[in-house]
Structure 1
Amino acid sequence: MFEKVNPAHPDKVADRIAGAIVDLAYASETNPKIAVEVLIGHGICHIIAETSTLISKADLEKTVRRLAGNVAVDIKLVPQDIHLVKNQCWKLRCGDNGIFLGLPITEEENKLSEIAKSIYAAYPTDGKYILDGEKLVICQSHVETKKLQAAYPNAIVNPLGDWTGGTDVDTGATNRKLGSDMGSSVTGGGLHGKDLSKADVTLNIYAHLLAQKSGKPIHLSCAIGDAFVDGKPYAELVEIARDYIRAVGGFEKFAEWGLI
């Protein structure tokens, strides 16, 4: 059983805005320290960012409106906690405590991801999809239900009928759709709106990649300040995650679909 949402879902819009803000930080520094939370809906976007990198509010507003349209933007920027900053002064270390689980992507997850991406390519509007064995549920906004029903005759399509979706119908919050991003490997922290010193990002990516390579579950844990994880320097794992983020096109692009 798996649920997938597309990049126009309000929660993913929040993730994408957070990712785009992290991209702004990385455009200024090689190893910025930043954590961003976004709440958006009904004409307003709230942003709280703890950051060591100077980012202009004008750039933040431009980013929000590029991804979410003409909404009001409420911004709170504060420095990163001094203890967290000191933890990273001399070299990259784990920026948080955490437990992590990497799992091979299942056939069901692959199948639903392909369906979601195919529908979104044709209709780039808010959508949510569920696959539970043979049961397929498709909720896609701004498209006639009968069109999707014809393409997927055995699916349950738009149970409430044609709908509009988006942030005027629902609110979105950062990291609220981790099941969509990670499948059954969800453990603790979130993937989005954080720099690579945060274990929530680096170790989730590392565990995921290792699970795909080995075909086996990968279990990891860390304490804040750890310089080694899985027998490797944390800085080395950061570079693995950095290469992955670069390959997908940055943190904003990573936020569109997550790891699956």
Structure 2
Amino acid sequence: MSYLFTSESVSEGHPDKVADQISDAIVDAILAQDPQARVACETLVTTGLVVLAGEITTSARVDYEAIARQTIREIGYDRSELRFDAESCGVITTIHRQSPDIAQGVNRGQGLDPDLGAGDQGMMFGYACRETEEYMPMPIAYAHRILRELAHIRKHEKHLMPYLRPDAKCQVTIEYTDQGQPLRVHTIVLSTQHEEFAEDWKHMHRQIEEDVRTKLLPRVLPPDMVDERTRLFVNPTGRFVLGGPHADTGLTGRKIIVDTYGGRAPHGGGAFSGKDPTKVDRSAAYMARYIAKNLVAAGIADEVLIQVAYAIGIARPVALYVNTYGTARVPLSDSEIAQKLLELFDLRPAAIIEHLGLQTPIYRPTAAYGHLGRTPAEIPFTHTTCVIEQTSNGPQEKYLTETRKATTFPWEKLDQVERLREAFAVQETLSN
């Protein structure tokens, strides 16, 4: 017998993802100037309107409206016929400072814990398995791949599918053996927004389905995972002309399962986008993924789930849980593995931030196609500092800029493998 498991992804033009990307673009703009900033930025997008709200404490000078418009433009909402576009939409900003009661707990030396405490209570999860080269579950990995390639075609190879618009969703069902091994792609559901390029909607539907089958999917799916029984549903309603924020209101933080493991692993409930790394919803979830991925790559287990829990204002986690689902390759119980991990990794927020380099502008790329299972890359950014100079006309602001470097998706690095193999006395070398 076999079983089926399904995950979905959404494109960068999906309304909720538009909101996520605006929020994270604001986080990046602030961190580029003020790495110590406290940011909690929520975005709402709807027909002709963007609303920015939240709590931000920073010395940075940031044009929130300009960032929102530029992000919308880069996604592809750049013309009026989409009924939501960067030039004509209204932008309302209602942002205030972080609560002093919260700040007291997350600023060093101000709260009960002298260290930088967790920005909130809660539990965060990290997960890794050996199903794909990204150490991610296959359903969510394939769904992301399909939509990333669809966006690439829309932006860079328009001649292949010239009718594409930004909004899209993809759902992938994988058939597994009873032992949990992926067998085949069972079903793909893809809904993609498109121009009204023909009077007959049935003709449009046939054209889009044919292009998806022959031009898109062969680029991203391994041939041995697709067979004649694989089912494909493209735009199952028949047409998808109206989309994006005009058709559906989008909000930051509503795609947390898309952002993580596609439902394969639990989720603590806290969204990532719009938050600076003192929020353990974000930083601790990244750290848990980092540990889980390195554990699997080191051959300690074939599948690992990690849960870490915090109390607001307290630096050290209140609990760490590990589940290897019976796949551990070392003679230790899961609780013993958890104890050893506490000895190997410093899970205080400040230590996580420093180890992964999280106080840098690396978050906009995370806000579409998954925060996890991505490839780290070094990027340059411009750091801006405002200084006050005394002149004959009184104090004057002067802005100094320098080019710095940051690493995107640092929690995906496999730089702890040898350290873990040594600590757990792993002998054999495993290949994915």
Judge same fold: TM > 0.5, yes or no: yes
User: Within the alignment, does 1:92 sit opposite 2:169 as a pair?
Assistant: no
Unaligned runs of 5+ in 1: none
Partner of 1:8: 13
User: Within the alignment, does 1:103 sit opposite 2:107 as a pair?
Assistant: no
SS at match of 1:188: coil
Structure with larger RCO (C-alpha < 8 A, sep 6+): 1
Partner of 1:223: 311
> CA separation of 1:110/1:22 partners in 2, compared to 1, >3 Å: closer, same or farther?
same
Unaligned runs of 5+ in 2: 1-5, 73-85, 109-114, 129-135, 156-165, 175-185, 196-206, 218-229, 297-303, 321-341, 374-432
Partner of 1:131: 172
Partner of 1:213: 294
CA deviation digits over 1:51-106, x for unaligned, max 9?
1115657x111011112212101110111000111112324221110111111121
Partner of 2:178: none
User: Within the alignment, does 1:237 sit opposite 2:352 as a pair?
Assistant: yes
Going by fraction, where is helix more abundant, 1 or 2? 1
User: Within the alignment, does 1:72 sit opposite 2:76 as a pair?
Assistant: no
Among the aligned pairs, what percent are the same residue? 26
> CA separation of 1:171/1:199 partners in 2, compared to 1, >3 Å: closer, same or farther?
same
Partner of 1:145: 208
Q: CA deviation at 1:251?
A: 1.3
* Equivalent-residue separation in structure 1 for 2:366 and 2:355 (angstroms): 15
CA deviation digits over 1:181-229, x for unaligned, max 9?
1023422211110011000110111111111111311111111112223
Q: Is the 8 Å Cα contact of residues 37 and 59 (structure 2) preserved in structure 1? A: no
CA deviation digits over 1:161-181, x for unaligned, max 9?
232321112111001011111
Question: In the alignment, residue 367 of structure 2 is paired with which amino acid?
Answer: A
CA deviation digits over 1:1-41, x for unaligned, max 9?
10101111111110000001111221221221110111101
Q: Is the 8 Å Cα contact of residues 49 and 78 (structure 1) preserved in structure 2? A: yes
* Equivalent-residue separation in structure 2 for 1:241 and 1:173 (angstroms): 28
Partner of 1:60: 64
Partner of 1:160: 237
TM-score using structure 1 length: 0.91
Question: In the alignment, residue 67 of structure 2 is paired with which amino acid?
Answer: T
SS at match of 1:139: strand
Partner of 2:281: 200
* Equivalent-residue separation in structure 2 for 1:89 and 1:171 (angstroms): 35
User: Within the alignment, does 1:259 sit opposite 2:263 as a pair?
Assistant: no
Partner of 1:26: 31
RMSD: 2.1
SS at match of 1:207: helix
* Equivalent-residue separation in structure 2 for 1:74 and 1:55 (angstroms): 19
**How many residues in Structure 1 have an aligned counterpart in Structure 2?**
256
User: Within the alignment, does 1:112 sit opposite 2:109 as a pair?
Assistant: no
SS at match of 1:179: helix
Question: In the alignment, residue 194 of structure 1 is paired with which amino acid?
Answer: K
* Equivalent-residue separation in structure 1 for 2:239 and 2:254 (angstroms): 25
* Equivalent-residue separation in structure 2 for 1:116 and 1:65 (angstroms): 23
Q: Is the 8 Å Cα contact of residues 145 and 162 (structure 1) preserved in structure 2? A: no
